[in-house]
């Protein structure tokens, strides 16, 4: 019997009782557990189970994911990953930036210099929940930055902090010969230095317009929105000769949904409820490098 699906469970407190509940769900769906292993470190635990699932089609996986999610097993989240993705020789990891690769929302840090942080944060939250058109909300938020000296961009760059495990995740993928990309509704002026430091293969964000040393309150060119994120995923995967089924997408907001849906596996990272509800898997702890275990890297 050959494994065709791997169940990767992770959490701050993965208990034997929780794992037993999980095995019961697998059995109820006709899945045979072929092997199990424990991984992780002092921050969180990881349990990996190779399964032989009778119906490993998209529909079969979706049914098992629904059953696992519905069980709401305390202390762990479980990603069900096609064996082909985990064993692929080359994979593409594509991530959102704000509140995913980094801990902050850059537009809110910039807005603080204009005394508009709370106002902008409320709009950002609504946009990430999918209640507002992203492009329209971005233009409205950037407009409050008009007149700020361009130096605030550098100041904000110093405030940005990577999410815990972000550097380790990128390093692990790169060391294994995979491709790492980020696409952001944020800004190139902030993302560029981060991309350089991490050695990312591809990156794209919006461009703040700066005239005579000041922000104009506008962005240049087309907005990187929900549709654009999926477009870049497809373009970069094609450029690298990597099938979409071997891609991993990670994000937290509604503007990531198309990208998460198009990837081989879409992972919601500390995401809004609407995103968690439709993503293939969720990481509900602060450690971004949990994604490497999901992908088998």
Report the catalytic residues: 96, 98
d(CA 11, CA 218): 41
For residue 81, report the phi and psi dihedrals to the nearest 5 degrees.
-120, 130
The size of the chain, in residues, is: 297
Q: How many helices (H) and strands (E) does the chain have?
A: 13, 11
The gap from C-alpha 22 to its chain's centroid, in whole angstroms, comes to 24
d(CA 247, CA 59): 19
Could you tell me which residues are beta bridge partners of residue 37?
A: 48
Axis-axis angle for helices 151-159, 188-198 (nearest 10): 50
Q: Which of 143, 104, 141 is nearest to 124 (CA)?
A: 141
In what side-by-side order are the strands of the sheet with 247-251? 214-220, 202-211, 179-187, 92-95, 247-251, 265-269, 281-283
Q: Which of 174, 271, 149, 160 is nearest to 205 (CA)?
A: 160
d(CA 213, CA 149): 6
């Amino acid at each position: 019997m050959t494994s065709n699906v791997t169940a990767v469970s992770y959490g701050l407190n993965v208990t034997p009782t929780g794992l037993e509940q999980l095995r019961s769900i697998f059995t109820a769906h006709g899945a045979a557990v072929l092997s199990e292993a424990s991984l992780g470190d002092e921050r969180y635990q990881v349990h990996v189970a190779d399964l032989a699932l009778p119906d490993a089609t998209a529909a079969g996986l979706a049914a098992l994911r629904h059953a696992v999610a519905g069980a709401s097993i305390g202390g762990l989240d479980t990603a069900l990953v096609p064996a082909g993705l985990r064993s692929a020789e080359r994979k593409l990891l594509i991530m959102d930036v704000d509140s995913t690769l980094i801990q902050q929302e850059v537009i809110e840090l910039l807005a603080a210099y204009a005394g508009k942080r709370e106002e902008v944060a409320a709009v950002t939250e609504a946009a990430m929940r999918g209640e507002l058109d992203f492009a329209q909300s971005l233009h409205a938020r950037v407009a409050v930055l008009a007149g700020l000296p361009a130096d605030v961009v550098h100041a904000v760059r110093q405030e940005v902090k990577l999410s815990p495990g972000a550097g380790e995740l990128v390093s692990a993928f790169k060391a294994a010969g995979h491709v790492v990309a980020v696409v952001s509704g944020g800004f190139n002026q902030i993302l560029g230095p981060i991309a350089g430091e991490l050695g990312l293969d591809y990156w794209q964000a919006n461009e703040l317009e700066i005239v005579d040393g000041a922000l104009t309150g506008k962005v240049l060119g087309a907005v990187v929105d929900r549709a654009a994120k999926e477009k870049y995923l497809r373009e970069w995967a094609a450029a690298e000769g990597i099938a979409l089924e071997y891609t991993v997408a990670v994000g937290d907001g509604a503007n990531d949904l198309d990208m998460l849906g198009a990837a081989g596996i879409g992972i919601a990272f500390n995401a809004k409820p609407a995103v968690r509800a439709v993503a293939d898997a969720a990481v509900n702890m602060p450690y971004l490098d949990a994604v490497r275990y999901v992908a088998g890297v």
